[in-house]
Chains A and B, each alone.
Chain A
Amino acid sequence: MCLAVPAVVLQINLDRTALVDILGVQRVVALDLLPQAVVGDYVLVHAGFAIELISAETAEETLAFFAEFPELAEGL
């Protein structure tokens, strides 16, 4: 029930909503909980609301960390 999916903000509307792209599907979501979102941001969408910014940089850094973490690579 706490499922939330990543989306990209395509357009900010005047009524506290935004048009987002969720894996190829466009949908209007409420921005009440994330008023700072701007076009191009990655956001997490839960039940019709954007609930948090997803940091694309952090996502990539985390992957790079796993890829390079020496202990994880032991024996490979």
Chain B
Amino acid sequence: MSVRPVQSSNVLTGSLAQIGNCGLFLLTLLAAIPRSFRYVRETLRQLWFVGAMSLTIIMVCGLFVGMVLMLQLYHVLSIFGGTSASGMVVALSVYRELGPVVTALLFAGRAGTSITAEIGLMRATDQIDAMEMMAVDPIAYVATPRFLAGLIAMPLLCCVFCAMSVLGGHLVGVTWLGIDNGTFWSNMTAVVDLHTDIVNGVLLKSLAFGAVVSLIAVYQGFTTPPTSEGVAYATTRTVVASSIAILALDFVLTAFLM
């Protein structure tokens, strides 16, 4: 294996080395993309596992986020008689921030951990070495398909999440609280911009988050000590590192894109 766990006594240099190694690992992953084209089927299979299998949680959470946002906004905005703007605020906050961030956090918990645990166990049971021995590049066969699947799945999941949020907001706002249906949509459509909100907000952010989460998950899986303890630890680290990376990256992206 070209990937080895980093060992350092110092926390700072240790984390720097982790980040550096992670970056190098990303290059390895990207370099393996041409070789992984022959494993398109495997990429699709992973897309099923990380994407389609995450749909339920994403849809349910999206619905509830939209509903609770609408409920909160309605009560605050009703003070100013501005309840008709609540649909618009739900859409904007979900598209720009909540959608990509919450989807990515859920994705890290649902798909990231399973990727890490699966690869870690494959290493612990010599399956990765076995692939090497069968002249199958484990980077191209195991790592890159999972990375690409995460990259493709995240924007799609985020779109589903946002759509469900808007529907949840509509459900609460229009069906329950009696905001006018046309006002709800007209306010939303008047403010939401295809480029800044959908492309920059939903798609670009979720693509970046998808890349970061799947990179961390695959990297942790490959560098974990091949023991059951190591796998458990690596799974935890995937969630922690992903969450920090998502929120930090979110700030940077927002600063650049807004």
Are the chains A and B members of one assembly? Answer: no
Binding site for B on A (CB under 8 A): none
